Amino acid sequence: MEYDDFIKHVGKKFTVVNGAVVAAENGEFIATHDLGPNTVYLNKQNKSARLVPSSTSWIGHTYHFRTQDCSVLAARYVDNQFGTNYREAAKVTKAQYFNYCKNGIISWFEDQNLTRVGLADRQENDFIIYDFDGQHKMHVGVVLGDDRILHHLPRSYSSVDTIDYSETEKFLGVYRHA
């Protein structure tokens, strides 16, 4: 995010689409010089811009590998919905993490005894694992209904986006909290 890209839009609203901040009439964030939740904070002193999501929002959070990434976001969301503790279960050692990378992230979901369901049988709050760009076969999101998912693309902001379920070859698994 660059200060110069937002300074001419003070008072305008923005949202996050596929991890990028974009102008939106009904956006959750407003560009302002006042630091606060749900803002694109424009710091006049150092000419910087940063997205400041509210503590209760699921979108607009900065990506941090293994502490705020797609699997952490999905686990936190499902924990919030059901009172589960997947976020704690996702805290694995480096060796365990690399083992999941080697064997596929699906093995973590199987280790948690989550129920695998077919793509056509997906429901709201299911975990979904898919390849978002043809090269990363480990992306995790949460089904929200209406062909939308909550997810966190690498080096981007968390977002709720529309997904095309007709591209069945990119989906690797759907897992349900029992």
The tens place of each residue's pLDDT in the chain, 178 residues long, gives: 799 999 999 999 999 999 999 999 999 999 999 999 999 999 999 999 999 999 999 999 998 877 788 888 999 999 999 999 998 887 888 888 788 877 778 888 988 999 999 999 999 999 999 988 877 678 899 999 899 999 999 889 999 999 999 988 899 999 999 7
What pLDDT is stored for residue 80 in this prediction? 94
What pLDDT is stored for residue 101 in this prediction? 75
Name residues whose C-beta falls within 8 Å of residue 45's C-beta, 6 or more positions apart in sequence.
Answer: none
Q: Where in the chain is the domain with CATH 3.90.1720?
A: 70-176
Token pair in block for residue 56: 């209760």
Residue whose C-alpha is closest to residue 29's, from 9, 42, 14: 14
What pLDDT is stored for residue 62 in this prediction? 93
pTM for the model stands at 0.89
What pLDDT is stored for residue 25 in this prediction? 96
What pLDDT is stored for residue 35 in this prediction? 97
Output the CA angle 66-69-70, nearest 5 degrees.
125
Fold of 70-176: endopeptidase fold (from Nostoc punctiforme) (3.90.1720)
CA distance to 8, 17, 93, per residue, from 69 (Å): 31, 16, 16
What pLDDT is stored for residue 103 in this prediction? 77
- Please name every residue paired with 23 in a beta bridge, in sequence order, or none if there are none: 14
Token pair in block for residue 128: 């979904």
What pLDDT is stored for residue 114 in this prediction? 94
